Amino acid sequence: MTTDCLFCRIVAGEVPAARVAESERSIAIRDINPAAPVHVLVVPKRHEPDVGALASSSTEDLADAFALIAEVARQEGIATDHRIVANTGSGAGQTIFHAHLHVLGGKRLPER
């Protein structure tokens, strides 16, 4: 845990967040600035700066995050129509440097 990391503080329960689901290695929370009707962040409990670093350090944590994404998508009614996004680096729009994945759905999303 990094004490100056917002997601580490959310994982530790120090900062409130709307939790949607949780596994042994990850949590799922609602995005505070949703880009779609369903916008959930899946955040590994392990602090790594981005998804690539997470994959290099723990394939188990990465696999757990994707398993939680599937659970969240089913729970939110978007299992067959959702997008998964991982921003890496500020140039790609990453603003919190703790690995996380965006799960978006609930409307027709534009092609990208």
Catalytic residue, candidates 39, 47, 98, 100 = 100
DSSP 14-32: SS---EEEE-SSEEEEE-S
Within a 10 A sphere around the Cβ of 68, how many other Cβ atoms?
25
Is there a catalytic annotation at residue 100?
A: yes
Rounded Cα–Cα distance for residues 1 and 31 (Å): 21
**Residues noted as catalytic:** 100
